[in-house]
């Protein structure tokens, strides 16, 4: 589940995972740290825990993926060559 929140004074997207999925959260954090400066990856700001959940704080996007794909589909085609999508190699 993704919620809106505030982290260190900034408005962020907060991904909430059940605490039993903390291994999944750690793997996601490792991948985000490795790709932190990639222009097509949202920034990860931090992680918080409570008794039941793991909360990952991310940069907020200007629109949803659904809006990006369906509202302006030509923009997507010009930004990512189809050969990169097919081969799973993004710039």
Residue boundaries of the structural domains of the chain: 2-87
pLDDT of residue 5: 93
Q: Which CATH superfamily is domain 2-87 in?
A: Phosphorylase Kinase; domain 1 (3.30.200.20)
Query: Which of 11-15, 33-37, 47-51, 77-81 is the least confident region?
Result: 77-81
Q: Write out the H or E segment, with its range, that includes residue 84.
A: helix 82-87
Asked if 5 and 57 touch (Cβ cutoff 8 Å), the reply is yes
Asked if 43 and 58 touch (Cβ cutoff 8 Å), the reply is yes
What is the average per-residue pLDDT within 32-56?
A: 85
Distance (Å, rounded) from C-alpha 6 to C-alpha 47? 12
């Amino acid at each position: 589940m993704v919620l809106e929140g505030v982290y260190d004074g900034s408005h962020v997207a907060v991904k909430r995972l059940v605490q039993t999925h903390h291994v999944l959260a750690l793997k996601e954090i490792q991948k985000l740290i490795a790709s932190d400066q990639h222009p097509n990856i949202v920034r990860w700001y931090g992680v918080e825990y409570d008794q039941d959940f793991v909360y990952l704080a991310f940069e907020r996007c200007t629109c949803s993926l659904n809006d990006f794909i369906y509202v302006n589909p030509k923009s997507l085609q010009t930004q990512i060559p189809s050969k990169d999508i097919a081969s799973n190699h993004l710039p």
